[in-house]
Amino acid sequence: MILRTIKYPLLLAIIYVISAGALKAQTASGVASLDGTWIINKEKSDTGWTFTSGFWVWTIKVAGNKVTITQDYPPQSTYQDCEIVLYSDDRGETNPNCFEESPPEAVSKTIWKKDKLFREYQTTSLVKGAVYKKNIQESFSISKSGRLVLERREYADPHLFSASQEKISTTYDVIQKFVFDKKTDLLPRCQSIHL
């Protein structure tokens, strides 16, 4: 009888330790822990883009509902360094439009859905002289391997003009995947670890 009362608390303790390890990429509130400095992994990313030399370095700080993302790009990059502040309680925010040319600012809404941080906003683009609105959906999450994953979907129904100036409609829908390694997880290739 005494052995049985000891065995069950021990079993519960083991289950607790295993569960804590499985949730190491999450905060106490159950959402993904995005905090840290992240470096783009060009090989793991699926963007359709050709990356310039150098690396994207993003630093993310989470303080309650406030998520600050500092984006640092190499000098040869198309993009300028910028910082955006998101509020995960869906109150809305206005930030520099880091990825798009226009408008210069993006008004967005951000909210946690389970273990992913979702952000939505609109931009405008000029295609063959026609201006159309483009919808952007972004999700930030931590993969099972501990990498930061930004999935970015752009979609719209732009109105284009044919050579005869006849208005036609086409559907535009692209999904890009940006994968980042945490800076503390990266070791120089020449460095060896001795136990």
Taking only Cα atoms into account, the Rg of the chain, rounded to an integer number of angstroms, comes to: 22
Residue 50 lies in a domain: yes
- Mean pLDDT check: name the lowest of 21-25, 34-38, 71-75, 141-145: 21-25
Among 35, 88, 31, 32, residue whose Cα is nearest residue 58:
35
Residue 93 binned pLDDT confidence (cut-offs 50, 70, 90) = very high
**Residue 109 to residue 136: CA distance in whole angstroms:** 11
Number of structural domains found in the chain: 1
Identify whether 192 is part of a domain: no
Q: Is residue 1 part of a domain?
A: no
What does pLDDT average to over the chain?
79
190 occurs within a structural domain: no
- pLDDT tens for 124-164 read 877 666 677 889 999 999 999 999 999 999 988 766 655 56
Domain of 113, in residue numbers = 26-185
Q: Report pLDDT for 151.
A: 97
Which pLDDT score, from 0 to 100, does residue 156 have? 81
| pTM of structure | 0.74
pLDDT digits 0-9 by tens, 65-84: 999 999 999 887 778 899 99
Q: What is the pLDDT of residue 140?
A: 97
Residue 45 lies in a domain: yes
> Which has more pLDDT, 29 or 1?
29
100-103-109 Cα angle (round to 5): 80
CATH number of the domain at 105, please. Answer: 2.40.128.20
